[in-house]
Chains A and B, each alone.
Chain A
Amino acid sequence: MNHVFCAMLLIGMLAAVMGGDLSGAQTALFSGGGEAVSFCLSMAGAYAFFGGLLGVLRESGVTDALARGMRKPLARLFCFERGEEAALDDICVNLAADLLGMGGAATPAGLRAMRTMAAAGGDTGRLSDAMGLFLVLNMCSVQMLPTTMIAIRAQHGSKSPADIVLPTLLATLASGLTGIALCKFFASRSKMHD
């Protein structure tokens, strides 16, 4: 992100100098932060509402129930090496929290799962098939409820802010399934080379 940020500012300043619009660039630099703060304030109500709603779901045990339900299919999907199956519980919690859009609860469980699997392989720094699949699933983000996106549309006067839920589900499904298929493909290819 460091490189991206520096590159964006550098390119912007260069373009400002070449285009001769220095005062416009200056206004943009000062207004950007202010826009961010007022944007966050306008989103605060929705964040509190969705946070509260997800809090009720979590404390009612919905996340745990979902994690339990995913346990069997996930145990089949992941080809664990010896000792790696100890991470299965954390994997289930991570993916269930991800599905419900609770990023805050997903990350600690996900990192724990990665550490457990690494330790099972003797901490050699090698990426096992199960670790690769878990990593790719997290990089694809399987999400059922895009709360931030619903909120931002509602805030900006959309007539039906939630009508992106179904397309988002389809898109996340497409990327998730592609990710799984690619992992299985690469894993079987590396086995043939052994």
Chain B
Amino acid sequence: MKLSKDIYVFIEQRDGIIQNVSYELLGEANSLAEDIGQKVVGIILGSEIEVMAKNLIMYGADEVIVVDHPILKEYMTESYTKAMTELIKSNEPEIVLFGATSIGRDLGPRISARIRTGLTADCTSLCIDPKNKGLHMTRPAFGGNLMAVIKCENHRPQMATIRPGVMQAMEKDENRKGIVRNVAIDFSNIGNEVEILEIIKKNKKVTDIAKSKYIVGGGRGVGNTKNFEMLNKLASTLGGEVAGSRAAVEAGWIDADRQVGQTGKNVKPDLYIACGISGAIQHVAGMENSGMIIAINKNETAPIFDVADLGVVGDITTIIPPLIEAIKKAKAEGMDYIAPSSLKYMGMENILFNKKDGIAYLTINRPRFLNALNRKTLLEIGAVVDLLENDESTLVVIVRGAGGRAFVAGADISKMQDMNVEEGEEISTLAQTVFSKLKKLPQVVIGAINGYALGGGNELAMACDIRIASSRAKFGQPEVKLGLIPGFGGTQRLQRIVGQGYSKELIFTGEMISAEEAYRIGLVNRVVPPEALNRVVNDLALKIISNGSKAVKLAKKSINEGGNVDLESGLAIENRDWTNCFTNEESKEGMKAFVEKRKANFKDFK
């Protein structure tokens, strides 16, 4: 048997633009590659597309195979099938991934029938079965009500189309290395049974709101026709349709055929933005099955918030105009996984660091090694922590791991096996110092734990103030299995978080626990679905930022210091910091606003 176990990713390009889903697949392929120990190969077909290969490497491809031929300029089933089939037959990859787009879903089945292997459509999650290294593919069925796990045991390659938007792309790393290989394919025997006569770029206008993918709905709270015009603009910017509640129809702001609810239409768009809609049961009945519901309403007790994925308490007339601008801008800029205003610190190999609007993101970026901590990574974290210590403009730090599999899977054991006593002591001292500094940062540190948090990873997580875990995350202190004990703070911090009983059980057995179990014993604050992790953490950061920054920092200080002393001394610390609050203008504004029944404006004091 051939030992090649490469993961092929079909890179979808249209007019020379790589589609987002391809970056996502490269990210996912990277985490899978770790488990089966082989490389990620991006396959790009097209005409004059070689320049794009470099980009693919920066996003996670180890190798890029380029088939450059005029016949491949526009997608056509036969030429693409031929190219892919020949590459697959000659290289025998283990896995082939496609985006579940109108191209991937046309190409995949044709290839699978030609080489007679299985194809699983529209997957939302992939993982490697630890027993036989086979691919387990999870996909929704039955209208999304049922999830099925599919395997393809006896045929190779294992192929899947992956739904766009569910996998995590890696952050762009300009220093990433990889090779580019040009392959020539002979297309001379392709006949003229099928030919493209014309390419029409257009979006057919949908007028039946029930068929629209995005709906902006307005209710009584919209107030007048002029404001409804604004909703219209938001809808057209998104490429969707505007709709209304019964109240809006009766007020004459919108036509009756755009009414959503019991007496109107039942809609199920991918996105429903409810503006100024209170959410009476009659309206909710018509839209609650929407893919994502965002509600904006002045009244925070409005029932619409019960069904909303995101509720924003606020005034639509101030929020929507800048939202329209932001959407336009995002659409114009296209794909960009790094916030445009972020500051990237160069010269770091193993971590990525950027900041935006008061939030700093510290990403451990060694997905191929499940983000394992080595000496260099620890030093780089330390350097960033030093920078943050005096950073007045940042209030929240989010710590996360790159790729979809691991937060940090532990210390880099391969580098440790040859260490002598002195070196062993040094690495522990280094890690303890860095983690303690992180814990003591004036800012709030949130750990976004997306996957394995083992050994040094769990210890890093415990050095964060708040831990939010994806349901895929796993926790543990497995050191005893290697004849070691936790050395980056594990024997001390774990007992302070979950108590000695659980702490001892975890450390003595070295076993991993699930995110749910970690939640049960109090190791993490919350468990959320994997795709929601970033958002939940961001929302949490936003909530914290909206408060007085001086108060938040003083509160952290008070809690931190009090944790190490007896209650009497702790209360004295609190008394000191409470008093301290009165020395700044922030508290004056906060209390004044409370008395005046308005929202405090803390911005000027940051």
Q: Do A and B bind each other?
A: no
